[in-house]
Homo-oligomer: A and B are copies of this chain.
């Protein structure tokens, strides 16, 4: 998808402000970018009741994660040309689910998703220096422009017996994943189907990311 602008992107210093192994994998293997990983230290602790929609919550968390990394790197000899931040949550019945706190929390989450559908939201932030000759729009904060968007995917869970849920949680896989399951690994067999971008369910909306990055860069390349 990004082939026509890769000649520009390949000369840039690109930073992924996230420690998620899935985001790293997708940005490398599916998008085809070269980048550094510098995880944000921003704590994901915003008051969810202040946000009307899960999309507003993930966009604001992703924005604050990204700003933390941009600010940390602004004294580097070579500041980043592009910092990519993201935040993912699961939402169902007006409730937002993040990573499970413990084993019982993971079991409760999966039982509540059982045999019905929920939504996965990812907010993505593209931060570029105000002085960039390629990206010329986006809100400016402290000499960087911020372009922010989100993607939502519906996930339909299978009817899963309680003992299967418990045995799945005991594999340890759910603990670092929003919503308590990994669609890319053992948890994938619990999912009947999805409606939308698969990669978004695992934490990064590859297609929307490429479309947005392409339109930001292609007009001024």
Contact = CB atoms under 8 A, between A and B. Distances in A.
Copies of this polypeptide in the complex: 2
A19 interface: no
Interface stretch (A41-49, A101-109, A182-190): A182-190
Contact of A4 (B158, B163, B198): B163
A206 interface: yes
Contacts of A4: 161, 163-164, 167
Contact of A192 (B185, B189, B190, B207): B207
A19 to B, nearest CB: 21
Interface stretch (A26-34, A80-88, A120-128): A26-34
Interface string A141-175: 00000000000010000101101100110000000
A31 B191 CA distance: 12
Given A188-B198, A193-B195, 13 more contacts: A1-B168, A1-B189, A3-B167, A4-B163, A4-B164, A26-B188, A29-B186, A30-B184, A30-B188, A32-B189, A193-B196, A193-B197, A198-B198
Interface of A: 1-4, 26, 29-32, 153, 158, 160-161, 163-164, 167-168, 183-186, 188-199, 206-207, 210-211
